[in-house]
Structure 1
Amino acid sequence: MANKTFKLNTGQDIPAIGLGTWQSAPGQVKTAVSYALKVGYRLVDGAYCYGNEDEVGEGLKEAFESGVVKREDVFVVSKVWATYNTRVELGLDKSLKSLGLDYVDLFLVHWPLLMNPEGNDDKFPKLPNGERDIIRDYNHVDTWKQMEKLLATGKTKAIGVSNYSKRYLEQLLPHATVIPAVNQIENHPSLPQQEIVDLCKEKGIHIMAYSPLGSTGGPMFEAEPVVKVAEKHSVTPAAVLLSYHIPRGSTVLAKSVTPDRIKENLHSLIDLDDEDMKLLNGYSDNLVKEGKVKRYVYPPFGVQFGFPDKL
C-alpha cells in the first residue's frame, strides 16, 4: 500500500500517501522531509503560506544529495497564496527559490479568494478594524487563467485547486481550457464532502485529502465505527483514518515531524474491505443527514465559499 499510486488526468502518477508540512514546527521540517523520503515517502506537500518551504527545500536537498532518492522520483506540491492570486508566476517563483527546485510536480490555488496584494502584510493583510483585507469583487476564474499559462513555462508539471466547493468548481469549469488535475480538500469520515468528491470523479479531478485525522490531537480516534474497524484489523484508529481514502481513490496527506510516527503512518495503510467502508460511509451519511458534519479547517476570511456546512 505504501507504494500505491493513482493516475492524474495529466498522465502523471501521484502517490496514494504523502507527507504534509502544514503547521510543522520550525527547525523540524528539514529532518522530517529528509527522513520521510528515506523511509519511502514519494510525495511532499507544501505551500508558500506555511512559511517553511526553505526547510522543505533543505530536506529535499539532503535526501537528493545522500542518494536516497532522485528528484524525478519525488512528487512535490506547492500552492499560490491568496495575496498572489493576481501574480501567480511570482508566487511560484518564490516557492521554487525556497524549495531549491527548477519545477514542482503540482501547483495549486490555495484558496479561491484575493487578499490585497498591496496590503500591509505579505500573507495576511488586515484592515484598520482587524478584519482581513480582501478584494471583494475578485473573480477566482481570473487566477485559473494565469495558472493555465504556467504550464508553458515548465515550472510546474500540473495545476490544480485547493479548498474548492462544488459551487466554485461549477463556476470555474466552463471557463477552463485545462481541467484541474487535483482538488485538495479537508476530507475524513466526519467531513466526507461527497458532493465534491463525486463531481471531481465525474470530471477526472483527483482528490487529495488533508487533515485526515480531523485535526490536531486526532479528535476522530474515538468515533465508534473507526474504533470498530481498527479493532477488527488490529491496527490503530489513525491507520483506519489514513487507509479510508485509498478505496475512495484519493491521495491522503499524513502530517508529522516525529520519525516513528512518520514511518508508522506510511506503513500502517491497510486494505479496507467493503464491509469496513460501508460502516464508515454509513457514519458519514448519518452526520450529513443530521447536519453534524465537522469541518476543522476554515480560516476567518469572511467569504462564503459554498460549502453546505458553512451556509
Structure 2
Amino acid sequence: MAALVLKRTGQKMPLIGFGLWKVTKSTCADTVYNAIKAGYRLLDGAGDYGNEKEAGEGVRRAIADGLVKREDIFITSKARRVLWNTFHAHDHAKQLAKKQLELWGIDYFDLFLIHFPISLQYVDPNHRYPPEWFGDDGKVHLQNTPLSETWGAMEELVDQGLAKNIGLSNCQGSIILDVLRYAKYEPQTLGIAMTAYSSFGPQSYLELGMAKDSSSLLEHSVITDIATAHRKTTAQVLLRWATQRSIAVIPKSNNSNRVVSNLQCDAFNLSDADIASISALNRNYRLNDPAEMDPRLAIFA
C-alpha cells in the first residue's frame, strides 16, 4: 500500500485510511475489525468522536485473531488521538492523552494531533466526555492557553514514548509557521504530510446545518464522466484525485463493498486533464469552520 514517510521518524503513514467520525458506538468495534480485515492499516479517530473504546476493541480483536500485529496498524488521533480543545493546558493535554490510550487499550499513538488551534475552558472528563464545543449552558467558553504551551506538552508525550509523531489539524499556514518558530519537534503531518477530510463533499455536515448550498461531489457531472471513462466509482475518482497528489485520505462507510472499493482507489491513475478538471471545481469553500459556531473562533483568515 502507498504510504507517506514522516520526516522526523521515517515512519510510514498509509496513504489511504479509515475515518471513524460518526461511526456509532454500537457498530464501531465490528466496523474497525472489518476495515482491518479488508486491508486498512490507518485508523483516523478522535476523542471528540466518542467511540475510542469501541474502536480499540476492534483493533484488539483483529490482533488476537492474527489479522495484524500492533506495529502493522497506524493509529492517529486528534487529542483526536487528537487533542480536543478543552485540554490545551499543559497538564490537561498529558492527562487526556493517557486517558485516550487507556480507552484504545494501546501503549502509544503513531500520530497524535491537536484537533483545532482553539483553547476552550477545561471540562473534567469525569463530568462529561467527550466535552464537545459547548459548556453546560450551551455556550462556547474560551480559555487563554497559548498554542506554545500545548505544543510543549505534545513534545513531552513524544519524549515519554506515548506518541511517536505529533502534528496539527485544521490549521492555516500562519499558525503552522508560528509553531515552527519554537518547536523542538516539527509537526509531522511537514515534510509536512497532508491528510484530506470530507473528500466526497458536505454529506457529513448536512445534519449539522453547516453544508450551506454545496452538493455532493459523488453526483457531480465532472466526476461521473471521469468515473465512467475509467470504469471506477465516483468515490474512487475523488479519493484518487487526492492520493495521486500524495495527499492521504480517510474515507469511511458502513457498507462493506464500499469499504473495499475505497481502499482500491490507488489501483488506477487519473490523467493530467482529469486532475485539472477536478481541481477546477474549487470554490474556495470551507467545511468545518468553527467561526460558524462562535465568531471568536475564526481561525481561518
TM-score by length of 1: 0.83
Q: Do structure 1's residue 278 and structure 2's residue 279 form an aligned pair?
A: no
Q: Do structure 1's residue 307 and structure 2's residue 294 form an aligned pair?
A: no
Q: Do structure 1's residue 175 and structure 2's residue 182 form an aligned pair?
A: yes
Residue equivalent to 2:207? none
- What are structure 1's unaligned runs of at least 5 residues? 183-202, 288-292
Letter in 2 for 1:236: T
Letter in 2 for 1:26: K
Matches of 2:10 and 2:285 in 1, distance apart?
34
1:205 pairs, out of 189, 192, 197, with: 192
Q: Do structure 1's residue 295 and structure 2's residue 283 form an aligned pair?
A: no
Asked if the contact 2:109/2:162 (under 8 Å) is kept, the reply is yes
Q: Do structure 1's residue 114 and structure 2's residue 122 form an aligned pair?
A: no
Q: Please give the per-residue CA displacement for 1:147-184, whole angstroms capped at 9, x wherever unaligned.
A: 111111111110001111112112222121211001xx
1:209 Cα deviation from its structure 2 partner:
1.0
Cα gap change, 1:43/1:125 in structure 2, threshold over 3 Å: closer, same or farther? closer
Of the structure 1 ranges 82-91 and 60-69, higher mean CA displacement relative to structure 2 is found in 82-91
Tell me the secondary structure at the aligned position of residue 242 of structure 2.
coil
TM-score by length of 2: 0.86
Cα gap change, 1:305/1:160 in structure 2, threshold over 3 Å: closer, same or farther? farther
1:139 pairs, out of 139, 143, 146, with: 146
Where does 1:138-287 land on structure 2 (aligned, <5 Å)?
A: 138-182=145-189, 204-216=191-203, 219-269=216-266, 270-284=268-282, 287=283
Q: Do structure 1's residue 124 and structure 2's residue 132 form an aligned pair?
A: yes
Asked if the contact 1:106/1:160 (under 8 Å) is kept, the reply is yes
Residue equivalent to 1:101? 106
Q: Please give the per-residue CA displacement for 1:107-150, whole angstroms capped at 9, x wherever unaligned.
A: 00011111111577551364586321111x33222211111111
1:305 Cα deviation from its structure 2 partner:
4.2
Q: Do structure 1's residue 92 and structure 2's residue 97 form an aligned pair?
A: yes
Matches of 1:173 and 1:255 in 2, distance apart?
32
Asked if the contact 2:48/2:132 (under 8 Å) is kept, the reply is no
Aligned length: 278
- Identity across the alignment (%): 33
Matches of 2:224 and 2:133 in 1, distance apart?
43
Asked if the contact 2:19/2:252 (under 8 Å) is kept, the reply is yes
Matches of 1:180 and 1:160 in 2, distance apart?
4
CA RMSD of aligned residues (A): 2.0
Residue equivalent to 1:290? none
1:48 Cα deviation from its structure 2 partner:
1.1
